[in-house]
Structure formats: structure tokens, C-alpha cells
Chains A and B, each alone.
Chain A
Amino acid sequence: MKKVLLSLLIMLPTAFLWSQGVKIGFQSGLEYSSMMELHNLNLQFKSVVPFNTKLVADFPGYWYYQPMIKIAFKKFDAGLEYSYNSTGSRLSGKDYSGEYKLDMRINKKSPGVFIEYYLFSQKNVGFWLYSGGGIMFTSLRVEEHLVVGTISDLNDSYNFKSKNYYYQPGFKLVYPWHLFEFEFNVAYLVQVGGGTLYNEKDKNQVLSNTATGNPIKPEWTGLKIGVTVNYILIKSKLDKSKSRY
């Protein structure tokens, strides 16, 4: 993966020399993930808390933000992307006498590379296949609060980290307009690797499910649906974008 990133970094400036097209873009949309292991951890917390609580948020799909830069070749584009996404959960219980909250906020920062292959176009809309991959750096913050009356009985927080890889196949529809391109993207992110969550202060301290004894890893595998706006920074001499559509 590092080699691929390095190659692209080398390719990028040379693209200017070769007068290939260069685009910058920004993609955003909803990203869904399963997070079953963290969900089960929440259920375990729920069973331990002596009063009834409810999982009011359970790692819902949430916005991802993905800037990218790509070089346009004749039949394909390739580039670098950086995706940021977060989601979370809350175990909650509140009444007149106090409040209990167990919040998990998890995010990932994933730099990667991608390649897009042009298939065909119809009515000025191009159909492309997409494939990407990279590293995912996950951060998890767990906060537990208990307030009884006006007294804070519990106020703990823990930070965990994890590193995994991803592979992301998908497709996109592209509509060009002057120096812009508007895209509709669909991809399915597949998490690769079993990097478990460890305490950022002590790597030997692994987050685990005390009921099963198994260490917990993030589970980012899931669907991504988004839209992209590309700006053509350097137009290719071949001006393929026109010829494509």
C-alpha cells in the first residue's frame, strides 16, 4: 500500500510535466457500517447497569468527507483520496433524579489510492467503475457519565486506536459542466485486517468484551453513497473528458 501511495506521489508532479489532466474533488455522503462488536459491548454495559437504559443511538450511517486529487488519463483516472467518517452510539437513561450516559464516538481517517475506469456514456452522463484501497486509522472515545442529583458519581473517558486496511469497489455516474464534474458515487467499503482497538496510552491494553473475552475491532465494512464535485485544475491536452461524453 505504501508503495502504491509513493508511486502516485511521484506520478502526480510528473503529470504536470506530461500535461495530463489534473482534477481536485470533494466527495461527501452517507457511510454505513456494522460495528457489531461495539454494539455487543454496549449491550453488555446495558446488562450491567442496575437501572434500565436504552441504546438511543447505535452507530447509524453518518456523513463522510472525502477530498481527492486525480490525474486523468485516456480511459481511466487515478489519484489519491483521504476520507474522514465518524459515527457513534449512546446508551442513555435519564429521569428527575439523575442521568446516565455511555457515549462511544468512533471515527476513521483513511488515506488511500483509487483508480476509475471509464465504461460508456449516455446523454452526457458517463458510467465509470471505481476501485480504491488504503489504510484506516480508527479512533474511539468512550465516555461514561453518571450524575445523581447534582453530584457526578462517574465521569470516565477512554481513548482507543486501531489500524486496518480497506478495499472499496464501486461505480459512479459523471456529469461534466464547464470546468466542473458532478458525480454520483456508490461504493462498498470492505475492511481488511484484524486490527483491534487498543488504549492509546498503553498499547497492551486492548478493548475487549468481558463476556466473551474477545478483543474488539472496529467494523467499518458497509455501503457508501455520495456525491462529488470535481474541479478541473489542469485540462488535459487530449481533452478526454469531452471525447468521453
Chain B
Amino acid sequence: MYTEVVMDHFKKPRNVGEMKDPDGMGEIGNPVCGDMMNIYIKVKDEIIEDISFQTFGCGAAIAVSSMLTEMAKGKTIAEAKKITNKSVAEALKGLPKNKLHCSNLGADALQLAIKDYEDRKAGKVRVRLPMEDAHTHADGDACKCPYCSGEIDPKHEFCENCGREISDIH
């Protein structure tokens, strides 16, 4: 199911652990959907000097966190802001379709950590963001049937197009 790169990052994750006195921290996800990530950064002269993660999640979630920290370490804040879920998934040589949401979470957690760093620099009080809704999409904004790719209304139980049940997996 997973590529060799993903398995490598899963078996030997880089930059694991909580950071003492980080300059920025991003928390994302929730146990409802089964993925939670914390990203910690230490910034000096606008460069991410050190970065670490903690993750509660599946193989993809752990691999995404690990790859993400590897990609961001040593980059400037401006460069790190350009890291997206797509670039993380590409660096991992691809993720299964139903795991792409994990890469969303990783990239978002990093951006939250960066935002936290910038907020603290500006003297703003740290605000706890509300829990992320588990309903995210890997490809665009329309809800699509995972079987026939037809557009669907997520409130329905069955796909109008092919009749298969969607309420459990969408």
C-alpha cells in the first residue's frame, strides 16, 4: 500500500519529540478522525533552526510528519511557507488516495506553527484554534463519489449515479 519512501519515514522517523520552549507550535487534527499532529519550531534569523513533531496517527500520518520536518529544517520562514500538502506527498513519492488528507494535516500544522511564531513575535496572545472538521478534500472543493467519481451531496447515503453507499466512507 505504501511507497518505499513512506515506509522508510515510518520505520525511521526523523525529528521525533516534543520541543522545550519552541518559538512556534502548531496543533492540528483530533481523535475523531484518527490523526493529530503537533509541529514545534525553533527560529533564528528567520531560519527554521530546529523542528520536531509528535503524531497520533497511521503510517501515512507519521511518514508525512517526518518528511515535513525534514523538508522544513534549515529553510527560511518564507521558503517554509511554500511547503504544501502536494509537495509533501510528492516527496514521499505518493500516498494512497484515502491517505491524502494526512498530507493536508501535515502542511497545515507547519503553517500553524509558523503563524504561531509570527504571532508571538508581534506580541499577540496565542489563540487555540477550534478542532478541525474531519471533512477535508484532497482534490478541489466538490464532494465526489469514491467509486464512480460522480458529484454527490454528502448528506445523502447513496450515490445518485451508481447506487453505492457513500455515507460511511465520505
Is chain B found bound to chain A in the same assembly?
Answer: no
Interface residues of chain B, those whose CB is within 8 Å of chain A, are none
Interface residues of chain A, those whose CB is within 8 Å of chain B, are none
